Amino acid sequence: MKDDVTVASFDRLAVFMRRSGLRYEVNFVPWARVLRKISENDHALVFQIVRTSQREDDYHWLVPILDSNPLHLYGLESPDKNPDVWREIREGKRSAACHRDSVHCTVLEEMGFPPYTILRISSEQPALTEQLLLRKRVDFILRFKESLCNNLILLNLDARLFHLYKTIEQKPDYLAAPKNINPDILKILQQVDMSDLPPLKFRQVLTSNGSKDSGDDDLTCGLERVGD
């Protein structure tokens, strides 16, 4: 079942594509496969890609789809027990995991993680970053909160195991076209009337008591085990 923000983003996509007059279908695939697919297909678009300065020249940015969706750095230990953690990160004494070629890896470097401390893994295996953290193969993971919550459901884990260290604001997610897009298709897409599209929505996560969580506190996904 899709949440209201996911529905809103698909509604925005549907209106945009309907106005273009182009037929389309949405396929959900891991990020590594997305990169392969768009490199081999001049009719493929990328749905819900974070716009960053590093990616700016690699895509045609067609329309924002989802409002700013912050990334969160999580570890297993409480930040109160790690007063020197940011110095240790800069000195290469702490490690983190991210999906290879994702925006997460770039953000980790911008946060001060030396490249050799970042474990870049395939996105093909679900919840692998969370498993690496739980096995203490790495000290931190950088995740969108809703993705982490979904993976914790998959792993049947208590959200209270994860402690928030930092929140990093991001630009909106976009519908984008790779540079190798068919020029006729690109021309059609760039001429779409974007007035009165369904509004952008900000993704929030429900806490265990049903209130909206803005991402400022430790992780709550409605997964906390009663009686623990």
Residues 102 and 123: beta-carbon distance below 8 Å = yes
Q: List the structure tokens of 91.
A: 């000195």
> For 150-184, what is each residue's pLDDT tens digit?
888 888 888 888 999 999 887 788 999 999 999 99
pLDDT on residue 213: 40
CA separation for the pair 185, 206 (Å, rounded): 39
3-state secondary structure 61-125: EEEEEECCCCEEEEECCCHHHCCCHHHHHHCCCCCEEEECCCHHHHHHHHHCCCHHHEEEECCCC
Q: List the structure tokens of 107.
A: 């953000």
pLDDT on residue 145: 84
For the domain bounded by 4-68+170-205, which CATH number is listed? 3.40.190.10
pLDDT on residue 16: 94
pLDDT on residue 130: 93
Q: In what order do the strands lie in the sheet with 46-50?
A: 46-50, 173-178, 59-66
pTM: 0.67
Instruction: Report, as ranges of residue numbers, the positions in the chain whose pLDDT lies below 70.
Output: 1-5, 68, 200-228
- The values of phi and psi at residue 127, to 5°, are 60, 25
Task: Give ranges for CATH 3.40.190.10 in the chain.
Answer: 4-68+170-205, 71-168
Q: What class has domain 71-168? A: alpha beta
CA separation for the pair 153, 36 (Å, rounded): 29
Neighbours of 76 (CB within 10 A): 14
DSSP H/E element including 175: strand 173-178
